[in-house]
Amino acid sequence: MKLLVCISHVPDTTSKINFTEGDTKFDTNGVQYVINPHDEYCLTRAIWFKEKQGATISVVTVGTQIVEPTLRKALAIGADDAIRVDAEPTDAFYVAKQIAEVVKQGAFDVVLAGRESIDYNGGMVPGFLAASLGYNFVNACIAIEIEGQNVTATREIDGGSEILTTVLPLVIGGQKGLVEEKDLRIPNMRGIMMARQKPLKVVLPIDIKPNSTTVSFEKPPVKSACKLVSPDNIDELINLLHTEAKVI
Amino acid sequence: MSVLVFAETSEGIYKKIAFEATSYGAKVAEMLQTNLVALSINATDANQLSTYGASKILNVKNEKLNSFNAKAFADVVCQAAKSEAADVVIIDSSSNGLYLAPLVAYNLNAGLASNVVSIPVTTAPFVLKRKAFSNKAFCFTTLTTSVRVIGLAKNAYGIFENKVVATIADFTPTLSDADFGISSKEVIKTSGKVSIADADIVVSAGRGLKGPENWGMIEDLAQVLGAATACSKPVADLDWRDHAEHVGQTGKQVAANLYIAIGISGAIQHLAGINSSKVKVVINTDPEAPFFKAADYGIVGDAFEVVPKLVEKLKVFKQNNA
Ligand SMILES: Cc1cc2nc3c(=O)[nH]c(=O)nc-3n(C[C@H](O)[C@H](O)[C@H](O)COP(=O)(O)OP(=O)(O)OC[C@H]3O[C@@H](n4cnc5c(N)ncnc54)[C@H](O)[C@@H]3O)c2cc1C
Ligand SMILES: Nc1ncnc2c1ncn2[C@@H]1O[C@H](COP(=O)(O)O)[C@@H](O)[C@H]1O
């Protein structure tokens, strides 16, 4: 089984979000980058398949050189090798087409991507990828088992979950649940040392036109101050919610 | 040229978001000076959509489509979009909508904007305002394709009545075995409660509650308000509550009308999941808790005293306003 885990390089969850150049560029000043949290779940699940079922794991990121520390981290966590498609990740369509090419070249039969990147929150790459490759696709995947060609996967639905069966080849949009949070792998010293020796291949992008452009950004309006109500005056809260906020 | 909206049903009944997506579609169609066509699958009362501005309703009746199947549904939407020469397709952000939208967009060679929060800013170029950076910002995205798919964020537009006379047409898509590469074995519903996705009001509690045995008052509060229950991440990690209740950047997104946070400090990762809720109330003993900066209304007080009182007062309020 050849697994490919798609790694999105995103600002850490605590990052302050600011923009520069007249709100047209994301301000990377002081921002720490991490592996997209959903992708971490995918990667740890992939390592489980490697340890229990002898799969091999490659990781891929579409990005310029600045993403390499993130890919090295994925190698330190346990991927066997890494591929960087040397291009700006212009939009989800562009990224998905680049990854689809990597999948074809490497004949991967399972592609694990995250449900969404926490920066642009697109939630599109996994679906585009599956459609482009003609692979089966499970989104919001919270559990997966693979036996030979047969797959049992669970997806989160509104108000519950749904168990699905399908066959390889497969793309998932994965998230928390694929493994328990306490089981998430973090790099240890040995992993970090080994990661330096592992191959990180840089490939050229294929020629694809993106189908969207992000023009500018806007921060949410500054919130007005919180209205405090005394704990001895709960009627006041109910009144405000009823007559002012009109939500009850 | 037309605008097509996918109006989602569940066991034949339109979901509330189907009416929101249709209301939104009617507005987009008006902007483009064209008509709104709605597509539904196995709806029992398709004409309901005319109330929200759909002048043509394509109703697919097919037993194979009784349960959701992303690829098959995407294929149906694409065929309808082609037969109606739709240049804008609108899909909601339910778990099914999010699954479907990229498949539809790809097959129509269309650009997709997800998490869209308002009507197009301009239609030429086609610019959409969408949520990004886990609700910490918005971005404006131009779709450069001739067909565009809009993923409408939950509770972002509202439901507006706009009664028109609609023609209802049967629509018979061509389905193949390839559409059914995935089969559903079992649907597991979180028992009988309001789901976070569908709820207008969400009552959420955090580590300030000290232990799972104290959730009775949270359930009571949710019940009197007809609300869903939710929790912070550590609460789910400690197994005090089910993981399906975990809200935040790495959990569920809540776009409710009212979010009540009890004993939750308001960490940035938690707020990222609830920022799109309209009105936020916090109950916390610590006046310095960051949640007070994000909330509209707050009570500095002990949940164990405030919540039971709130439940009793709300019961009276509900009786008087029934
Ligand atoms: C990568 C990453 C992702 C994360 N994702 C999420 C996420 O998706 N969702 C999430 O929630 N968190 C997430 N977190 C965790 C987050 O940083 C916080 O640790 C968490 O939200 C805190 O939960 P809490 O507010 O329940 O607990 P605490 O921070 O311990 O707060 C408890 C609060 O209860 C108050 N309190 C105590 N007693 C009472 C009382 N009797 N009455 C009223 N109030 C009382 C306290 O004053 C305090 O403010 C993430 C963290 C990381 C690093
Ligand atoms: N530039 C990228 N390189 C590699 N994988 C990516 C990239 N962008 C997104 N992905 C993958 O696609 C998932 C969903 O991303 P998105 O569609 O951008 O929300 C992420 O969790 C990653 O697994």
Residue among B95, B133, B195 minimizing CB distance to A17: B133
CA–CA separation, B65 and A222 (whole Å): 46
**Which ligand is closest in space to the CA of residue B304?**
1
CA distance linking residue A70 with residue B125, whole number of Å: 36
- For residue A91 and ligand 2, the question of a CB distance below 6 A is answered with no
**Which pTM was predicted?**
0.94
Give the whole-angstrom CA distance, residue B80 versus residue B77.
5
Residue B198's pLDDT is what?
86
Q: What percent of chain A has pLDDT over 70?
A: 100
d(CA A119, CA A114): 12
Which H/E stretch holds residue B9? strand B9-10
pLDDT confidence of residue A221:
86
Per-residue pLDDT of chain B (322 residues; tens, 9 = 90+): 999 999 999 999 999 999 999 999 999 999 999 999 999 999 999 999 999 999 999 999 999 999 999 999 999 999 999 999 999 999 999 999 999 999 999 999 999 999 999 999 999 999 999 999 988 999 999 999 999 999 999 999 999 999 999 999 999 999 999 999 999 999 998 766 788 988 999 999 999 999 999 999 999 999 999 999 999 999 999 999 998 999 999 899 999 999 999 999 999 999 999 999 999 999 999 999 999 999 999 999 999 999 999 999 999 999 998 7
* CA-only gyration radius of chain B, Å: 21
Cβ–Cβ below 8 Å for B102 and A127: yes
Residue A5 has a pLDDT of: 98
Q: Mean pLDDT across the stretch A40-67?
A: 98
User: Residue B58 C-alpha to ligand 2 middle, in angstroms?
Assistant: 34
Whole-number pLDDT of residue B192: 60
Report the pLDDT value the prediction gives residue B191, as an integer from 0 to 100: 64
Element spanning B96, H or E: helix B95-107
pLDDT average, residue stretch A155-169: 96
Q: Do B103 and A160 touch (CB under 8 A)?
A: no
Strands, DSSP E only, in B117-237? 122-123, 126-132, 137-143, 148-152, 167-170, 183-189, 201-205, 228-231
